[in-house]
Amino acid sequence: MILMPVVVFVGGMLLAGPYEGKASLIGLMSAIYKDGLSLKPGALLLLTWPVVLILLWAGALRLRRRLIGQENSVDRDERE
């Protein structure tokens, strides 16, 4: 949650030029966290996206392992 505003700031500086407003990383971070505390959807999505991505990835791996396990048990039943 701390790294995302830094990534946004650096990406914005590289792609679009300086951040308007308080033209600093701390200004951008304070705006994002203030909006997050105000429950604004864009800020919440930005701040929670890494966690959501990790949870989706872990869920996909768990589902894949379960499906592969079921395929292996079907293969064993067919051999017998």
Label residue 40 by pLDDT band (50, 70, 90).
Answer: very high
Give CA–CA dist 58/37, Å, rounded. Answer: 27
Tens of pLDDT, residues 16-31 = 887 666 668 888 888 8
Give CA–CA dist 2/29, Å, rounded. Answer: 9
Label residue 80 by pLDDT band (50, 70, 90).
Answer: low
DSSP annotation string for 17-52: -SPSSS-SHHHHHHHHHHHHHTT-HHHHHHHHHHHH
**In the predicted structure, residue 38 carries a pLDDT above the cut 90:** yes
Give CA–CA dist 20/13, Å, rounded. Answer: 10
